[in-house]
Amino acid sequence: MEKSLFDTFQIGNTTLNNRFVRSATWEGMCGQSGAVTPKLTEYCKALARGGVGLIISGYSYVREDGRQYPGTMGIYNDDLLPGLKQLTEAVHQEGGVIFCQLVHVGGQASSKVIGETPLAPSAIESFGNKELPREMTTKDISAIVACFGEAARRAKKAGFDGVQLHGAHGYLINQFLSPLCNQREDDYGGDASRRMRFLEEVYTTVRSAVGSDYPVSIKLTASDNIQGGFNLNEAVAVAQRLEVLGIDAIEVSSGTPTSGEMNPVRQKIDSPDQEAYNAEFASAIKHAVEIPVILVGGLRSCGVMQELLWRGDADLFALSRPLIREPKLPNLWQEDDNHISTCISCNGCFRPGLKEGGIYCVIDKIEEKNQNPQI
């Protein structure tokens, strides 16, 4: 029987209703302390009702100095558990599955936001952030590794169905992996295996905190898409090592804020040939490991995803911007697999997150006002 996008699928011991994933998306809907708000809970409920097989939360900071933007979800303190539990319970009531993405942004943080000098593997600019970070000591490294473990423990206690480590897009795990940011001369820097040591310690600590039967996944950069940066050959080796250690799934992305047109959130996706811009990377990793591989990046149509599935280039397909415009997109596809996402890849949806306390599709809002000028 041929594989279908609407097959049920297993990640670890968790069953998904289909192969569609809401890729982790900063929603900008949390309180100043990172606490979940009713607005975020309702937003995630709508995604679950819309039929997506797996929701991955917006990146949730494991320590207060690991936050990048206001409105980001926090998971650094047990005081945040009540709101986190309300979120997972609401998603489960709608029949949904939700993972919590864990992050420390390292040198991508701002002292204006966190109130202190950001930390990074080395005291050099982290992918375009002009603020010079402080090089982490081994004590700093151990402390943040422990925070990832505690955050994973909280995620499980709060009812999340699994966790995902953010190892892409220029954040701390990616900074350790990349020779552009990691110029250390100790056991955490140098060749690719040493640059992976931080990630390996984070993973093993998280695994110890949640147990062997709880899904742990990673969003892994396959390439910095910058000359001299972390590359695909290194990413394949990292993926293979993580598989040996017991990770349950890998979401494949690429790019950093300074990767130009090859950044993580590309624009001008208006035809099938522009879709799935990370497919080559996902295919390389998929053919090197046995565990599930999730492809993210510019997916807009069932036809493209179905072809990639049949070719064996990926197992699951993650979307972000299309689900901001059409939260019911998976249900729409089940009714008509010829439907093309109406997302125009303008990236305008993220501006309201900073200015208005929550992302939404600005094109929808404009069209709504044009149809009803009194709004």
Active site residues: 171
Query: Of 250, 259, 362, nearest to 314 (Cα)?
Result: 250
32-71 in b/e form (b: 16+ CB < 10 A) is: eebbbbeebbebbbebbebbbbbbbbbbbbbbbbbbbbeb
Q: Which amino acid is at 134?
A: R
362 burial (CB, 10 Å; 0-12 / 13-18 / 19+) is: middle
Query: Of 276, 289, 301, nearest to 248 (Cα)?
Result: 289
- DSSP calls for 98-123: EEEEEE--GGG--HHHHSSPPEESSS
Query: What are the start-end ranges of the H helices in 178-223?
Result: 192-195, 197-210
d(CA 62, CA 105): 10
Q: Are 266 and 345 in contact (CB under 8 A)?
A: yes
Name the phi and psi angles at 176, rounded to 5: -70, -35
